[in-house]
Structure 1
Amino acid sequence: MKKHNFSAGPCILPQEVFEEASQGILDFQNSGLSILEISHRSEAFVSVIEEARSLALQLLGLENKGYSALFLHGGASTQFLMTAYNFLNKKAGYLNTGTWSSKAIKEAKLFGEVVEVGSSKDKNFNYIPKDYKIPSGLDYLHCTSNNTIYGTQIKDFPNIDAPLFCDMSSDIFSREMDFSKFDLIYAGAQKNMGPAGTTLVVIKNDLIKKVEREVPSMLNYKVHLEKDSMFNTPAVYAVYVSLLTLRWIKNNGGIKAMEQNNNAKADLLYKEIDRNPLFKGFAAPEDRSPMNVTFNLTDESRKEAFDELWKNAGINGLNGHRSVGGYRASMYNALRLESVEVLVSCMQKLEEQN
């Protein structure tokens, strides 16, 4: 039986993507070869990565607007380093909203001055900082749009006179917004887009003019742009599955439809958390994430009973991160509303038992 997968990542993907990707392993496009064994320089794969790059820009509304999309190695963790290596010449601003922001800040400090413009560390990152002041003269401002561990999401992004960078690893393609306000976006594929192993980078082409230092080839955005994201062997299978997922998003109404479905799932679960006296939400209500819903029991003595209920219901990946405890329901694009209904039913059964 297929389980209800609330894992924070690697994530759930659409069933049709699994099926088509599986066929590609056996026989890619009736070529007699697996996608795992074709040359990354072959016409067949070049067409895959070119379509994936183009479709990513199209879905984000950035096609023909001076942006390029790259599929690179190393996950978002490498982007923490790469963004600073390329663009932190003197001083950069960082909004600290959790573990991933903190890791990005640590890497950036190797290359220049880091100004922490705002932080929610004082309350274990359960909210998004507001009314913070952004100093002038920044090389860029970096933020993390969604925080998987703490279940918070930035709803409003600042308007600034410096380039705006964003780690969108856990909510890319999940909600509509004006993506043109960002100069650089990066996202590990393994949340809303594909399997672990590749990272999407969307970069404004003119940004390259701001690189002042010598950067090693593998960490140099200019090199990857000049080589059309094929400087070295790409993660062929991860890019292919990402393409299939991007097609699925487009064929199912695009980002607008994804957002509607995600809001319906989040509304259902948050309403139950707020209604049911046995549960309480972790994140501040105004900053709650539709992607990662974090919540706790009001009485930990009921943990064993609740764990038995959701595990017997075929639910996977519900345990919260160790820094927060409790539970975390990750509800990425491909998670069906029915899975959330099963979880809500378990919460209501626990209430009936008590």
Structure 2
Amino acid sequence: MFHIKKLVLVVMIAGLFGMLMVACNGGNDEASGENNQPEENETNNNDTNEANEANDEPADDAADYPDKSVQMVVPYSAGGGTDTVARAISEFIDFEESLVVSNIEGSGGAIGTMEVVNADPDGHTLLMHSVTAAVSGYHTGLFDTKIWQDLEPVASMVTQSGGIVVREDSDWETVEDLVEYAQANPQELSVGLPGIGGGAHIISAIFADAADIEVNYVPFDGSADSRAALAGGHIDVMAGFVSEFYDFIQEGEFRMLASTGSERSPQLPDVPTFTEMDIDFVLNHRNGIFAPQGTPEAVIDKLNERLEEVTQNEEFITLMDGLVTESAFLSADEFKEELEELDAMIEPVGELIRNEE
């Protein structure tokens, strides 16, 4: 009997001990569960934070650009220098969509320019313009505002210098000869202009101001008419850009006395610069591309990348050489700086030009 009671007691103690062990394990499991719960919450929070951070990242506004054809407006008639460069770019640029050149001429380039100023700022309407004309428009009264500030400078891709030209048989062999005559005979030196306020007018006005001479401006309806007048002896001098005169110089009809470049033109290495003649005057003529104000920066950056590739294309470089133009890329920031410098250069002669109209 005693043994039976002892056995029952042992069994009861063993059972009680087992229950205690189960209870302890259960408590540990619960404790473990409580410790794991924050880790699960932390994981969920991390996922949420990562999703929020992803949503906060700026979208690439140029990822699908261009998603339709791009129109490049040239505010002059077809066949001119600006138009030729624009069409070369359209041929060589690596775009998913076509780049179409549209000539919207009239009012000295104002109509085509305003077409782009008022276009949607999505990068699908661009302006190819003479940089000199784009800046001088305000100073010559063509625009009420500095129109280049109403646009986004995208890039400039080509450049050439300008100069002062006389007939080959002229008595003026150098710029010094020309200045000496003009100072001794105020208003006697006749200077032909392809148009009022254009690049040739800017070159002439800055030269006259820098050399402290007074000249008589004679306007014509375009470069062809003014060149014919010079060849016929109806005017004494003509200003303009190298590409306008190159063939005539090579054929022995005209002589360029000085160029506006910071260095001598590679096409006319024997022609000195104005700075070599102690006349403080440097003006490189550029064609530049503009977009409507508010065009996304990512689109401007993508355009910069593709346009710079064009200027490095050997076929494009060769084509520009044939146009007596140098392939020379300026980024958006560099282009804007160039515009500001040109604006400061033209401003002092702006009033003189307006008074001559």
TM-score class, shorter: under 0.3
Which structure has the bigger radius of gyration? 2
TM-score normalised according to structure 2 size:
0.26
Instruction: Specify which structure has the higher proportion of helix.
Output: 2
